[in-house]
Amino acid sequence: MQTRWGFVLVLALAISGISCSVCTAEQTRCVGNVAEICDSRGHWRQMQDCDEVDGLEENMVFTCQTTIDEGETAHTCLPEAE
């Protein structure tokens, strides 16, 4: 009987769109062309939409990329490599 209720709970969460995954504060990731950051409550938030970043040069395209700064991995919008 408990197994059935567990299945119903998992199904209800899946249908409602509630995610069971959490992230670590200040962790970053790329989702498509959007850089996201994890807030203090463990939820992903949009940090930067790379499609909306204006370049210094005309027609400069930005993409969400992984960077390493002082040994720390991060994700942000950077000019697309030519």
- The answer to whether position 49 is within a domain reads yes
- The answer to whether position 11 is within a domain reads no
The percent of residues above 90 in pLDDT, for the chain, comes to: 62
Query: Could you tell me the two tokens for 10?
Result: 């998992």
User: Residues with Cβ < 8 Å from 47, sequence gap 6 or more?
Assistant: 28, 34, 35, 36, 37, 76
> What does pTM read for this prediction?
0.68
Report pLDDT for 67. 95
Number of domains in the chain: 1
Q: What is the DSSP string of 28-70?
A: EEEETTEEEEE-TTS-EEEEEEGGGPPPSSTT--EEEEEEEET
What is the CB neighbour count within 10 angstroms for residue 27?
Answer: 15
The per-residue pLDDT for range 22-66, each reduced to its tens digit, is 899 999 999 999 999 999 999 999 999 999 998 888 889 999 999
**Structural domain harbouring 64:** 22-79
